[in-house]
Amino acid sequence: MEISHLKDCPIWADTIADRAWHAWWTESDVSLADYRAHLNPMIESDGVPLALVAHANGVYLGSVLVIECDLDDRPEYAPWIAALWVEPDARRHGIAAKLIEAARAEAAENGYDLCYLCATPDNSPYYLARGFKLIESDVSGLNVFSI
């Protein structure tokens, strides 16, 4: 498995948009095309925002974003590890943990001492087990973590 910047393999942009939009945005006013357009800066420039893609032998395995804000209620926190996705048949192989580690390293390279992440209460134990610290509970139904 390899983890690459989306700017180095933009072929995965449509797949990332599809997975994230269907997982989290279908009930919003954001269209799939609009979500996909938000990935363009991650292809065209360096720094935050950025996207990382896990892939092997030409197969998409998962992805993660590092963005300026993932929770409108907490604009003071930055950057955010967001839209972590691993394909169902690739789960439970440590890919998510490797994507998180790579995202955190990229944020550090861009001068950020901390990263933030929001998760549903059901998903929160996963992040706690990986070293995230719970800093707020029930912010618009989500828990907020730092690492």
Structure confidence at residue 28 (pLDDT): 94
Kindly report the length of the chain.
147
Share of the chain above pLDDT 90, in %: 100
**3-state secondary structure at position 104:** helix
Nearest to 3 by CA among 125, 94, 79, 129: 94
- Cβ-in-10-Å burial (0-12, 13-18, 19+) of 27 comes to exposed
Structure letter (DSSP) for residue 43: H
Q: Give the model's pLDDT for residue 42.
A: 97
Q: Which tens digits make up the pLDDT trace of 18-43?
A: 999 999 999 999 999 999 999 999 99
pLDDT number for residue 122: 96
What is the per-residue pLDDT for 63? Answer: 98
Residue 136: the pLDDT is 97
pLDDT at 37: 97
Phi, psi of 65 (to 5 degrees): -110, 150
pLDDT bracket for residue 109 (50, 70, 90): very high
Structure confidence at residue 147 (pLDDT): 94
Strands 59-67, 50-56: parallel, antiparallel or unpaired by DSSP? Answer: antiparallel
CA dihedral 59, 62, 65, 66 (to 10 degrees): -100
CB distance 141 to 120 below 8 Å: yes
Grade residue 73 by pLDDT with cuts at 50, 70 and 90: very high
What residue ranges define each of the domains in the chain, with the CATH number in brackets?
2-112 (3.40.630.30)
What is the value of pTM for the model shown?
Answer: 0.95
